[in-house]
Structure 1
């Protein structure tokens, strides 16, 4: 029987005890498991990153850990907590992982964390995330990784002048031409740049 089933059975058994009948004691360990061992989102984020970094963890389990991390940082407070937990450096290090699936998922997590989030954008910028994404978008051998880098870069530079400036500094001249006055609040201009970057990312990179 499941723990929840055990709890329900206990409740029914003890709801109307007969006179003189002693109540059954509920197992404290069961209560702790059901209600007392809830892990905080911060703990779950740290555990996910520890699994991602652990060489003994399988690639499939690392992908699951990345999925969990990405879902957690969809929440604004958790995204901002990446900096407090010192998780930006290990997350950004995964952008260079030899496994292209893990590189893609790292970029995905970065993009989710900084989307519409000025505080996380600033933290991401301070750890050198923008040039890493530009480099990935231009040079990664896997097209799906390059596309995810474009997504993350788009999230990082919108409404962030310093991030946009870093991105423009890292882009090749042909992509900057005519965009010298591009503003981070110019969503149409950013959209046009991103469309050009997506088109470029879809092309085969010559080795």
Structure 2
């Protein structure tokens, strides 16, 4: 932990003793107990550091900057993905205006950038109907299907399938959009988004989808 935060915790402990009416002193909370109640944003606020929202916006700016090299863009993408593992940060993508630039990166010329974009989308929409619905609004499901079935890089296709799997499970509107976007040879009947076996069959078929050699 930041040394300054250690000082703050020690100060809190030293100054939180309370004297009872009978003259006894109530033992203060330990530093470990106080630390457990601190969130990263609380710590950042105390120390004057950036919030997760600030970091997410900064990461997206780097991802679209011509002045940032690929190595640092991938580092920024990895940090971004870790932040949106939390549902609060995932739901902040819309108010922060980050969904559209994220989806746009599915069309990036670099395969690793496309892979990370699909990965982040899959992370954000997993068990999150608000985010799942946003993919429909942005018409992102056809883009993910295109990556999953045509990208020349297997790792990129794999993450696109992951994103689709996360997007449609237990959310029928997204499943319906996927059904309309699938290539010829896939199930044409309506698939129940709550039928995990049926969803798995589609995802397995997407993973095995033949791709023309580059």
TM-score w.r.t. the length of structure 1 is 0.80
Structure 2 equivalent of residue 194 of structure 1: 203
Equivalent residues of 2:161, 2:203 under 8 A apart = yes
Residue 140 of structure 1 deviates from its aligned partner by: 1.3
Once residues 88 and 72 of structure 1 are traced to their aligned partners in structure 2, the CA distance between those partners, rounded to angstroms, is 14
Structure 1 equivalent of residue 95 of structure 2: 84
Residues 58-207 of structure 1: pairs in structure 2 closer than 5 A: 58-176=69-187, 179-200=188-209, 203-207=210-214
Structure 1 equivalent of residue 55 of structure 2: 44
Once residues 147 and 82 of structure 2 are traced to their aligned partners in structure 1, the CA distance between those partners, rounded to angstroms, is 23
Equivalent residues of 2:172, 2:193 under 8 A apart = yes
Runs ≥4 residues deviating over 6 A: none
The higher-RCO structure (CA 8 Å, 6+ apart) is: 1
Q: Which runs of 5+ in 2 are unaligned?
A: 15-43
Residue 35 of structure 1 deviates from its aligned partner by: 3.8
Residue aligned with 2:191, SS? coil
Select the structure that is richer in helix.
1
Equivalent residues of 1:80, 1:120 under 8 A apart = yes
Once residues 116 and 74 of structure 1 are traced to their aligned partners in structure 2, the CA distance between those partners, rounded to angstroms, is 11
TM-score w.r.t. the length of structure 2 is 0.78
RMSD of aligned residue pairs (Cα, Å): 2.5
